[in-house]
Chain A
Amino acid sequence: MTGAPLSIDEQIAAMKATWPQFAARRIDRCSQAARWVGSVRPQYSRYVLEIRYQVGGFPEVRVISPVLIRMPGNPEGELPHVYPPANDPSLCLFDPREDEWAPTMTLASATVPWALDWLACYELWLMTGRWTGGGRHAEPSAPIAKETTA
């Protein structure tokens, strides 16, 4: 995808216009980084999400509350489609090798709906034991390009 990366102020404006329940915090214009915290309820339960982003990096999304439920012995793993560490996982919402995320995109139009997709799949996974939203897992031993702002 071509074009200039969106600035952190542009990301903040898009988030405010689209998802006003996500409050921007820790805005750092020098390093072009920010953190948003907001509450959503895609289906059955309410979740507080945290989104961290630094322009040029990958958005990082965590569920702050409630604690994500694990299902030991499930074929998809105890908790599917996340990045370690296990005690503080972040959601893996896209395949970094498929160029699905670009800094010309807004978090509001991509990251938040992706996180809602993840939560919808997570709840249905808890209910049925099956992850029906597709995707793929990295091989356990293979290094993966983590979506991180660092």
Chain B
Amino acid sequence: MDDVPHQCDFVVKNTATLALQLLKRFRNIRYGAYTGRIPPSVMLSYYAGLASQPNMSLSTMLVRLANWIIRDIEQASLYGRQLHVANPVCTDDVFTDRWPQSISQQNEFASHLRVLVHALETMHKGEMPPNDMMGKLRENFGDRAVTRAADQIAAQVGAGIQQSRQLYSRRGGLVWPAATGAVSPVINPAVSVAKPHTFFGRKI
């Protein structure tokens, strides 16, 4: 009997898995009205494994994953070949045996991914207003999931602000609670917390 392989770090697996889930959602939405074969989940999982890297935000991981697939498709198309992805431990097991069926099919997926990458990079640079960002995220990942995620973030950040425990970096960036175990305002002067206060004023 073979030994159980050493498991990768939970954080690494978690972010890469979330990025994979988002990519699958994106694919399902883009190909929702499509009647032919679509990019297979097993192929996307293979690329998620390749792209996996620690200490990376979800959006950065998703961009990295999408770019990896784009590069491989571009390379294959450049030489007039269809994308070929096989199981790395069993090369007879070809993940791309049913998709793509043509070069134009793989180019179409790469084109969808480029649009996704552009949108994510625009958001990452802070060049998209938050309300437009929501529209773009809903368009790419689905209304219900995005709305639920935004509601959760709003509740979490709002509660932190109401209880005066929301932390900010010295550059004015919001510090997420997950990171606060390592950066308390007492031991790390690079973090600031607001004193208790009550938003007031008018509705205009």
Where the two chains meet, the residues of A that have a C-beta atom closer than 8 Å to any C-beta of B are: 18-21, 38-46, 66, 69, 71, 76-84, 86, 89, 91-96, 98, 100, 105, 109-110, 112-114, 116-118, 120-121, 123-128, 130-138, 140, 144
Q: How many residues on B have C-beta within 8 angstroms of the other chain's C-beta atoms?
A: 39
Shortest beta-carbon contacts, A-B, top 3: A77-B203, A132-B158, A92-B201
Chain A residue nearest to B196 in the complex (CB):
A100
- Residues of chain A within 8 A of B197, CB atoms compared: 93-95, 100, 110, 114, 117
Contact of A127 among B134, B159, B203, B204 (CB under 8 A): B134
Q: Give 20 pairs: A residue, B residue, CB < 8 Å, sorted on A.
A: A18-B192, A41-B173, A42-B174, A43-B174, A69-B129, A79-B204, A81-B202, A82-B202, A86-B204, A92-B199, A112-B192, A113-B193, A113-B195, A120-B161, A123-B130, A125-B154, A127-B133, A130-B154, A132-B154, A135-B199
Question: Hey, which chain B residues are within 8 Å of A113, CB to CB?
Answer: 168, 192-195
B152 to chain A, nearest CB (A): 10
Provide the residues of chain B in CB contact with A131, threshold 8 Å: 158, 199
Interface set of B (CB-CB < 8 Å, partner A): 123, 126, 128-131, 133-134, 147, 150-151, 153-155, 157-159, 161-162, 166, 168, 170-174, 192-204
Q: Given the complex, which residues of B lie within 8 Å of A105, measured CB to CB?
A: 195
Across the interface, B158 reaches (CB within 8 A) one of A69, A109, A134, namely: A134
- Shortest C-beta distance, A124 to chain B (Å), equals 4
